[in-house]
Amino acid sequence: MSKVKIMAEDLSLFYGDFQALKKISLTMKEKEVTALIGPSGCGKSTFLRCLNRMNDIIPTCHVEGKLTFEGEDIYHPDCDVVALRKRVGMVFQAPNPFPKSIYENVAYAPKLHGTKDRALLDEIVETSLKQAALWDEVKDRLNKPALGLSGGQQQRLCIARALAIKPEVLLMDEPTSALDPISTLKIEELIRELKQHYTIIIVTHNMQQAARVSDRTAFFLVGDLVEVDDTEVIFTNPKDQRTEDYITGRFG
């Protein structure tokens, strides 16, 4: 049995008076891929953003209930948010490399965290690009602009950038929605590789993708967590009629 990495217990989130998450209880285990699915506006991204306290920047937002990372309360006033975000990396929907070289994109965060040694930075860049399955395509042009890469390569670069500070958890918010089918499959293959080392939580609109890459799937509907189970069970034998209606395409 793998160990519990992140656990939400009765987690509610409000944007002003609007309740976007309603008492969500969900356990995410180490080195598993958890997919969050559900129709637009159901709270998937909101939930994902709680996991590294990205919602903090929204002034109207407040959270109730409990969210723990390896047993420690993420929303406790003493929680070191910078340290948390180092352990919980994020990859966004559209590839968003910095307008810098490929090398500098990956070296950026380690430098920010104080790594100055060039040989060590070289090693981090190479390892991260290899882990993101991009090294072979870019090793001869590390000093070229990142924005000259294809969309799929840019997204793998963003994954390498997230890996460069050696996180334990990777949050992915619809990481392939801006990509073509071939690049999408590459990222999915990569996710399956990465889960050997990382705990991954992915928001996706694509149910085939959830079925292909995840171990567990959580179905959200208007702020509620309707059902969570092994991915195979969710897609073959869901317990809740609303889950069945959604995965069979009856709504959403």
Ligand X SMILES: Nc1ncnc2c1ncn2[C@@H]1O[C@H](COP(=O)(O)OP(=O)(O)OP(=O)(O)O)[C@@H](O)[C@H]1O
Residues that bind ligand X (CB under 6 A): 15, 18, 20, 38, 40-46, 58
In the complex, least distance from residue 139 CB atom to ligand X, rounded to whole angstroms: 35
CA atoms within 13 A on the CB side of 58: 14
Residue 66: partners with Cβ closer than 8 Å, 6 or more residues away: 7, 8, 9, 10, 11, 73, 75
In the complex, least distance from residue 176 CB atom to ligand X, rounded to whole angstroms: 14
In the complex, least distance from residue 190 CB atom to ligand X, rounded to whole angstroms: 22
Q: For residues 42 and 134, which CB has a smaller minimum distance to ligand X in the complex?
A: 42
The closest of 59, 79, 56, 36 to 221, measured between CA atoms, is 36
**Count of beta carbons in the 10 Å neighbourhood of residue 114:** 6
Q: Per residue in 206-238, is it b (16+ CB within 10 Å) or e — as a string?
A: bbebbbbbbbbbbbbbebbbbbbbebeebbeeb
Q: For residues 38 and 152, which CB has a smaller minimum distance to ligand X in the complex?
A: 38
Q: For residues 61 and 121, which CB has a smaller minimum distance to ligand X in the complex?
A: 61
By the 10 Å C-beta count (0-12 exposed, 13-18 middle, 19+ buried), 170 is classed as buried
Q: For residues 46 and 131, which CB has a smaller minimum distance to ligand X in the complex?
A: 46
In the complex, least distance from residue 58 CB atom to ligand X, rounded to whole angstroms: 5
In the complex, least distance from residue 206 CB atom to ligand X, rounded to whole angstroms: 11
Q: For residues 45 and 184, which CB has a smaller minimum distance to ligand X in the complex?
A: 45
Please say whether the beta carbons of 56 and 67 come within 8 A.
no
The closest of 138, 92, 128 to 108, measured between CA atoms, is 128
Q: For residues 146 and 170, which CB has a smaller minimum distance to ligand X in the complex?
A: 170
**Which tokens belong to 165?**
């500070």
Quote the CA–CA distance of 2 and 16 in Å, as a whole number: 37
In the complex, least distance from residue 10 CB atom to ligand X, rounded to whole angstroms: 18
Q: For residues 26 and 164, which CB has a smaller minimum distance to ligand X in the complex?
A: 26
In the complex, least distance from residue 8 CB atom to ligand X, rounded to whole angstroms: 14
Residue 101: partners with Cβ closer than 8 Å, 6 or more residues away: 142, 143, 144, 145, 146
